[in-house]
Chain A
Amino acid sequence: MKAERLLLPSILLVMGFPLLALADECLECHRNETPAAVRQWTNSAHFDKVGCDDCHGNDHDQILSGESSVVAKNCGKCHENAFHQHINSRHGVSLHTGWGCSRNLPDRDPRECRFCHEEGSTKPRNSVQCARFLKQTSAMASIGCNRCHQVENSCAACHTNHLTNLDIVRHPGVCATCHMGPDHPQWEMWQTSRHGLLFESYGDETGPTCQRCHMPEGTHDVSIGITMSPGMQLFDKETQVEQRALMLGICQECHAAGFSQRELDKADAVHGQSMQLIAEAKEVIQDIADLNLLVPSLKERPAHPLHGQQLVLDGQMLYEDFSHIERLFFKMKKFDLSKTVKGAYHQNPAYTHWYGNAELKMTLVDIKAEADRLKRLLAIKSFSETDSGSQFGIAERRLLMLKRRFERGVISEQDYNHQRSEILENLNK
């Protein structure tokens, strides 16, 4: 084996292969500095085609400073098809979605500038639109965020750095690095489902893996067959039908068409029911915010990195500098909903029900209880204020809450006008 390893480079050297001549410059040191990396490269499919500088460049200082990481575009020079599939899939829209500068728009929000610029500088500070990412230290952002979200720009996120062995990326474990944990435990729910059991018992010929269903025929488009956004909002009807047909085609490799359709329909229903619970919880919290009962209040807390001093539930919601009731909602939306819905699509009963649905409903109970507690505090506070000013204060809070409910479409225009008149009439009594 050792002889074989030495034989090929020797033959190439004798043939005067120019690539190796270039690589030699690096190998001179790196055989000693990073022997395993060199070994992986010499054993890879790249060995006779791609040299060190093709990926890493020639500027050694830049490489040492960590500023010349190998980007997906570089791989795309040769792997053009895979690259285009990748960047157009949801792996391709991972973190670095750019902000357009809005300073010249007539109705711009001037607060936006500070997200991208230092005072007086036109140079963008960053191009990230994730509120939770913006709240992190750079160390936390690097390991806790970018290690997964770099997938947009890094083929190595799945393929590893110097190996080209496809066994690595065909194993479901490669997905587990990111697709696990409380926010989206696809790995765990697959592993403990029938599909996972079959894989454990018979390997990927019989047991469907992540790749088998989500990257059929080796495509790099991981969005195939998905009918909703990462935030679980359904795509438009046409896209849903198109994607569902693709997924049914995949299911039908093993299952009857009717069975597949029925199971996915059930998962769709679970998704719809769960989203209703989320909407209900949001309404409860919006009402509390309208009554100015969140502690710390929206004015007292640090400004949200993207939206400033306003209530942000859902997509760009933070998990710090906010109230207990919002913390409950974060758990419900980010963890419980995900487990319920993804559990259903991945055919895992325990995740769908106990880890998901039960928690989803119990958290809603907690949210309502917390809302009641806060409203009781308001009642006590209002009762203790007997001056005429408090009458206006209470009426103002009620009018504000009513208006926001109307704007959110919770009540009709007729009900809005009627209830507003009632508040004003009570004011005159």
Chain B
Amino acid sequence: MKHMVNSIFRPFVVLILFMSGCSAPQIPQSVSETPLVKIVTMQKNGSFSGNLQGSHVAYTRDGLQLFDLINRSAYDLSEDTPQVLAWNTSGTFLAAGFSSGSDSCRLIVVNQNGETVIENIFPINLLDIQWSTRGDLLILGYAIKDFSFGSNLSQTLYVVSDKEHVPIILSDNTIKPRTAQILKPILPALMPSAFSAQGDELVYLRLHDPPEFPSFLQVVFRNWQVPVEQLLGRLEVSQTKLFLQEDIEQVATLDVDGTLTTFPLWEDASVNRLGSSGPLEQFSPSRQYRYIGGNLYHNDRLIASWPAGARLQFLRNGRFLLAVDSDIYLGEGLNSEFWPEYNQQEWVLRRWLHHGLITYEDYVQEKSRLLQ
């Protein structure tokens, strides 16, 4: 009889225990006394992006959604799932890029009310979208065209406005037919890029495939306003992650085997190195906070621990967005930090430095005057 009761009730006990776990998920740990607030749920493995002010969050669920945290209203922006989302620094416009076939992508720019202000098709496979602090909208992509003698692989950066789209050719190389056949499926992973915080500079990898020689990746650094590029070094062809470490004027690359390679941005810059940091870490703008593998540190102190796959976005005024599985939470309580803003003098000095109009020494001197 006892066995019978046990066998009858055991599944119910297990079910009740299971249901209690499902219906009341644990709110992730907060970094302050204020608990995290769940905002929305996105699709599994979806993407999200909040504006820095923390007033709006764009996320993917059955296409692209926009959630207004102040008015608690939601907008359906598109039935298509975007590849890249990017807010401008003042948080007023969201740019979303969608794939629209081979060598083609669609860009939309919407305002906070979900109204489309720019919509256009570009003849590239989208790699990244970035807003500069000055307000320039930049989209980066590649195109590959096959000919009898090989394939032409080009990388193009578009500077987009409501009036015109200025293309800047970052590369245009011929690759051998065999190379094209092998590498075509993984090209996006071979051509990572990283923009500076101001959005005026970028570092990217360019594929070279000379005849009779093995292919290689060229690490290129440039300011998109001037037609001069700095060739930082070569890498073997491999899926690579790229990190622009502006504070120490350095680029770090990490290949699939875990090999870390660093390249100084300027010949003279090495003398000004302040130290090194692990490139996989995600830093807050003033580098007070770093986030890696679910752990958030304030300087060297662990202040919160979340599941390893949790994704974090730092916002202004000590706020942040945290995505755990498909749920997006808003948190607060971090120290308020200085966010990069458009500084004309700094912007001009960097442009001059890239153009070779001033030396790195001139730049350092002028920048220190600027800070004074």
Contact surface of A with B, Cβ cutoff 8 Å:
103-106, 110, 120, 122, 388-389, 392, 396, 399-400, 403, 420-421, 424, 427-428
Contacts and interface: CB of A to CB of B under 8 A. Distances in A.
B118 interface: no
A424 B370 CA distance: 12
Contacts of A427: 366
Contact of A428 (B174, B344, B357, B369): B369
Pick the 9 closest A-B CB pairs, nearest first.
A110-B172, A399-B357, A104-B211, A392-B348, A103-B174, A120-B147, A106-B210, A122-B149, A403-B357
B208 A399 contact: no
B148 interface: yes
Contacts of A403: 356-357
Nearest to B154: A110
Nearest to A120: B147
B79 interface: no
Interface in B197-232: 208, 210-211
B352 A396 contact: yes
A136 B356 CA distance: 38
A106 B358 CA distance: 28
B219 to A, nearest CB: 15
A194 B148 CA distance: 63
Nearest to B348: A392
B38 interface: no
A419 B143 CA distance: 44
B180 to A, nearest CB: 14
B311 interface: no
B344 A420 contact: no
Interface in B129-150: 145, 147-149
A104 B215 CA distance: 12
A396 B348 contact: yes
Contacts of B362: 420-421, 424
Contacts of A400: 355, 357
Contact of B358 (A110, A388, A424): A424
Contact of A396 (B145, B173, B357): B357
A400 B210 CA distance: 34
Nearest to B351: A396
A106 B174 CA distance: 9
Interface string B50-77: 0000000000000000000000000000
A389 B355 CA distance: 18
Contacts of B145: 120
Given A120-B147, A389-B344, A403-B357, A104 B172 contact: no
Given A110-B172, A396-B348, A420 B210 contact: no
24 contacts: A104-B210, A106-B208, A106-B210, A110-B169, A122-B147, A122-B148, A392-B344, A392-B345, A396-B348, A396-B352, A399-B352, A399-B357, A399-B358, A400-B355, A403-B356, A403-B357, A420-B357, A420-B358, A420-B362, A424-B362, A424-B365, A427-B366, A428-B366, A428-B369
